[in-house]
Amino acid sequence: MNFKSLIRDVPNFPKEGVIFKDITLLLQNPSALKQTANALFHLLEGRKIDKVVGMESRGFIFGPILAEKLNAGFVPVRKPGKLPSTTISETYDLEYGTDTLEIHIDGIKKGDRVLIHDDVLATGGTASAACKLIEKLGGVIVQCNFLLELTFLEGNSKISTYPVKSLIKY
Ligand SMILES: O=P(O)(O)OC[C@H]1O[C@H](OP(=O)(O)OP(=O)(O)O)[C@H](O)[C@@H]1O
Ligand SMILES: Nc1ncnc2[nH]cnc12
């Protein structure tokens, strides 16, 4: 399946100079949606997973589909102030400034085997913060898996202590 043919470049979104990788054409195509979910699932190569952690908001698209395929639970990592119960948080650097992610403290149990999933690995700030949250709660990161990776931003280097797999690389 030629996934790249269904990923559209949108120049200067959300700001000048960024080429945004738009996956909505892939999502709206029934066959591509199914094949993408299956291919992300096969990146796990049969490893046992207790929880899939997806990052707001595009990690919520394939995250729950993967969880269902893996017979695992799904745990959302969200932007500040969105999760209703007790959370822990992690602040991380963006290109300009900082951002924060939160997770419910009862989302991960000590020893849970965790798959971190997001649509895009860019600078790696988001994924690295999510990994720290999981480890603070005693989870074991089995794999970080992404639909696409912007290799020129070297996000891989921020999470190099974990197994990282991406379906598509630019
Ligand atoms: O590797 P990084 O440089 O951290 O970038 C990757 C993150 O950026 C995008 O999310 P965004 O913050 O745009 O939020 P959204 O999913 O709500 O659109 C993407 O979905 C990843 O979560
Ligand atoms: N260029 C990009 N396209 C889509 N999502 C992104 N997240 C971070 N950088 C991105």
Residue 6 lies in a domain: no
Task: Tell me: cis bond preceding 57? Omega within 30 of 0 counts.
Answer: yes
Residue 69 lies in a domain: yes
Q: Is the ipTM here above 0.95?
A: yes
Residue 1 lies in a domain: no
Question: What is the atom index within ligand 1 of the atom nearest the CA of 55?
Answer: 22
Residue 33 lies in a domain: no
pLDDT bin (cut points 50, 70, 90) of residue 1 is confident
Pocket around ligand 1 at a 6 A CB cut-off: 55-58, 118-127, 155
116 lines ligand 2 (CB under 6 A): no
Residue 135 lies in a domain: yes
* Beta carbons within 10 angstroms of residue 90's beta carbon: 18
| Best residue among 22, 92, 120 to mutate for probing ligand 2, ranked by most atoms within 8 Å of CB | 120
Phi, psi (rounded to 5 degrees) for 125: -60, -45
Q: How far apart are the CA of 80 and the centre of ligand 1, in A?
A: 14
- Boundaries of domain holding 139: 46-169
Q: Using one digit for the tens of pLDDT, what is the confidence trace for 12-26?
A: 999 999 999 999 999
Residue 12 lies in a domain: no
**Backbone Cα Rg of the chain:** 15
Q: Using one digit for the tens of pLDDT, what is the confidence trace for 115-125?
A: 999 999 999 99
What H or E segment, with its residue span, contains residue 166? strand 164-169
Residue 38 lies in a domain: no
pLDDT bin (cut points 50, 70, 90) of residue 158 is very high
For residue 95, pLDDT beyond 80: no
CATH number at residue 119: 3.40.50.2020
Residue 117 lies in a domain: yes
Domain count, the chain: 1
| Best residue among 21, 118, 166 to mutate for probing ligand 1, ranked by most atoms within 8 Å of CB | 118
Q: How far apart are the CA of 121 and the centre of ligand 2, in A?
A: 8
Give the separation between CA 113 and CA 111, rounded to whole angstroms. Answer: 6
Give the separation between CA 108 and CA 138, rounded to whole angstroms. Answer: 7
Res 94: pLDDT: 80
Q: Using one digit for the tens of pLDDT, what is the confidence trace for 52-94?
A: 999 999 999 999 999 999 999 999 999 999 999 999 999 998 8
Task: Tell me: cis bond preceding 14? Omega within 30 of 0 counts.
Answer: yes
